[in-house]
Amino acid sequence: MDIHEYQAKELLSRFGVIVPQGSLAYSPEQAGYRARELGGDRWIVKAQVHAGGRGKAGGVRLCDSDQEIIAASESMFGRKLVTHQTGSEGKGIYRVYVEAAVPFEREIYLGFVLDRSSQRVMIVASSEGGMEIEEISAKKPDSIVRSTVEPAVGFREFQAREIAFALDIPAALTQQMVRTLQGCYRAFRDLDATMVEINPLVITSDNRILALDAKMTFDDNALFRHPQIAELRDKSQEDPRESRAADRGLNYIGLVGNIGCIVNGAGLAMATMDTIKLAGGEPANFLDIGGGATPERVAKAFRLVLSDGNVRAVLVNIFAGINRCDWVAEGVVKALTANPVGVPVVVRLAGTNVEEGLRILENSGLPIIGATSLMDAAEQAVAAWKNDQARDPEEETS
Mean pLDDT of 350-356: 88
Dihedral angle of Cα 196, 198, 203, 209, to the nearest 10 degrees: -30
Has 242 been annotated as catalytic? no
Same domain? 123 vs 76: no
Residue finishing a domain among 196, 219, 237: 237
Report whether 5 belongs to an annotated binding site.
no
Q: Lowest mean pLDDT: which of 29-38, 223-232, 360-369?
A: 360-369
Choose the most confident range, by mean pLDDT, from 8-17, 137-146, 215-224, 379-388. Answer: 8-17
Residue finishing a domain among 192, 222, 237: 237
Dihedral angle of Cα 38, 39, 45, 51, to the nearest 10 degrees: -40
Per-residue pLDDT of 31-87, as tens digits, reads 999 999 999 899 999 999 988 888 888 899 999 998 999 999 999 998 888 887 777
Q: 109, 128, 252, 379: which is the annotated catalytic residue? A: 109
Per-residue pLDDT of 167-219, as tens digits, reads 999 999 999 999 999 999 999 999 999 999 999 999 999 999 999 999 999 99
Same domain? 127 vs 198: yes
Alpha carbons 17 and 84: distance in angstroms, whole number: 28
Report whether 2 belongs to an annotated binding site.
no
Has 97 been annotated as catalytic? no
Alpha carbons 260 and 126: distance in angstroms, whole number: 42
CATH number at residue 33: 3.30.1490.20
Report whether 61 belongs to an annotated binding site.
no
Q: 5, 197, 242, 379: which is the annotated catalytic residue? A: 197
- In order of 254, 351, 375, 386, the CA distances from 381 in angstroms are 18, 21, 10, 9
Answer whether residue 337 is part of any domain. Answer: yes
Residue of higher predicted confidence among 341 and 390: 341
Same domain? 128 vs 204: yes
Report whether 46 belongs to an annotated binding site.
yes
Read off the pTM.
0.76
Per-residue pLDDT of 242-299, as tens digits, reads 777 776 777 888 888 999 999 888 889 999 999 999 999 999 999 888 765 566 777 7
CA 301 vs. chain centroid, Å, equals 21
Report whether 264 belongs to an annotated binding site.
yes
**Structural domain boundaries, residue 330:** 239-391
The domain tally of the chain equals 3
Report whether 353 belongs to an annotated binding site.
no
Q: Evaluate if residue 398 carries a pLDDT over 60.
A: no
Report whether 356 belongs to an annotated binding site.
no
Same domain? 79 vs 209: no
Residue finishing a domain among 174, 205, 237: 237
